[in-house]
Amino acid sequence: MDTKKEIKKILVVDNNSVILRLMSHMLEEMGYEVYTAVDGLDALEILSGFLPDVIFVDLVMPKINGEKLCRIVRSLPEMEGVFLVIFSAIAAEEQVDVKKIGADACIAKGPFKEIREHVKKVIAMAASQRPSFPTWEILGSESIFEREITKELLSTTKHFEIALNRISDVFFELTPEGKIVYANEAACKMLGLVEEKVLSLRFENFFSAEQRPVIEKLLLQVDSELVTKGEDKPLFMHDRQILLNMLAVSDLTQRFIIVIIHDITERKRTETQLIKQQEDLEKLVAERTVALMEANTKLQQDIVERKKLYDQREELNQQLENALAKVKTLSGFLPICSACKKIRDDKGYWQQLEAYLVKHSGTEFSYSICPECSKKL
């Protein structure tokens, strides 16, 4: 026996105001309590205080599209029993994989009479708590046809999203209030969260309490001029030092903020190491310079001392030479008369002893009489 679930509350998410009015009026006529949201971010704010039984979601919307909204809803434990219905005008071109994105059914936007019947059918499915047809079937697909321009636009959108997911830099798209509506794979990797957990969160909350006011001020002041922060004064996100680039962009209907983040942790670490090495090198050079100067001073002192010793030696040598110049030495055998004591010179002449000594040694004599000779005389 099948159990029935009473359907009371329904949320319709679509950025087309006409669709919202028509769906809201039709569902209220059926007796349901209806809430509407203009985009995925608006829907998440409503869901924070409203638990619907069924949610109709458009695929193409600003500020978190339908596919990402479905993933987010399916990641919330309190939303486990919610019946998700894709309600899209691009069902033919997009080839929606209902099961992959976590939805339970898909309705293609077409003539409103047909839409009414399809809506009744999926609500009955939600009440029966089991699908009555394969989830990959698109209700109303027989009434629509592929549009080449839509396919091209979807292809371009996917191309840019693939490109953003391949870059190594972190990329965010924010609302003017600072809520995250897009985060590429590098951003999710840095934050350590899957995209479903990142979207709709406030960007400044990923910074420390000390740096949060700086980010909040930037969000308020950013305009069409690129703003860069984090080069001179360190800025950190999840323990990674970053270079933050912000730019406000406006289109015809809305304003949003583009954030590109470069992870400069390794570069700054390398710069710090190079600065430290340079400081160590300068310190070593200074120490070596002081040591060299001290050694040079000591060498100069040694040179002075050696010069003094040299001068002293030269002075002594001069004194010795002067002394030697004054002293003439006698060497060898002197032939002397044993009687008169005369000396025979080299030429064979006999000279008085004192005359010979005066000539050969420069000695001068003074004459006197010894005591013995005095007695004799």
Residue 278, token pair as written in the block: 């340079």
Judge whether 108 and 141 are in contact, CB under 8 Å.
Answer: yes
pLDDT of residue 94: 57
pLDDT of residue 348: 78
pLDDT of residue 151: 46
Phi, psi of 344 (to 5 degrees): -95, 125
The neighbouring-strand residues paired with 249 are 256
pLDDT of residue 280: 92
Question: Which amino acid is residue 348, in one-letter code?
Answer: G
CA gap 259, 184 in Å, rounded? 11
Within 10 Å of residue 228's Cβ, how many Cβ atoms?
Answer: 13
SS3 per residue for the chain:
CCCCCCCCEEEEECCCHHHHHHHHHHHHHCCCEEEEECCHHHHHHHHCCCCCCEEEECCCCCCCCHHHHHHHHHHCHHHCCCEEEEEECCHHHHCCCCCCCCCCEEEECCCHHHHHHHHHHHHHHHHHCCCCCCCCCEECHHHCCCCHHHHHHHHHHHHHHHHHHHCCCEEEEECCCCEEEEECHHHHHHHCCCHHHHCCCEHHHHCCCCCHHHHHHHHHHCCCCCEEECCCCCCEECCEEEEEEEEEEECCCCEEEEEEEEECHHHHHHHHHHHHHHHHHHHHHHHHHHHHHHHHHHHHHHHHHHHHHHHHHHHHHHHHHHHHHHCCCCCCCCCECCCCCCEECCCCCEECHHHHHHHHHCCCCCCCCCHHHHHHC
CA gap 246, 261 in Å, rounded? 9
CA gap 267, 259 in Å, rounded? 20
Residue keyed to tokens 């909350």: 205
What are the CA-CA distances from residue 248 to residues 40, 64, 222, 224 (Å)?
21, 18, 6, 5
CA gap 238, 270 in Å, rounded? 19
pLDDT of residue 27: 92
Residue 277, token pair as written in the block: 């090495």
pLDDT of residue 337: 84
pLDDT of residue 351: 82
CA gap 174, 183 in Å, rounded? 9
CA gap 86, 138 in Å, rounded? 9
Within 10 Å of residue 188's Cβ, how many Cβ atoms?
Answer: 18
The neighbouring-strand residues paired with 107 are 87, 139
pLDDT tens, per residue, the chain with 377 residues: 456 778 899 999 998 888 899 999 999 999 999 999 999 999 999 998 899 999 999 888 888 888 889 989 988 888 888 999 988 766 554 566 677 778 888 888 777 788 888 899 888 888 886 654 455 567 765 555 444 444 444 444 555 667 666 788 899 999 988 999 999 999 999 999 998 899 999 999 999 999 999 999 999 888 888 889 988 889 999 889 999 999 998 876 778 899 999 999 998 899 889 999 999 999 999 999 999 999 999 999 999 999 999 989 888 888 888 776 665 555 566 788 877 878 887 777 888 877 777 777 667 777 788 888 888 87
pTM metric for this prediction: 0.64
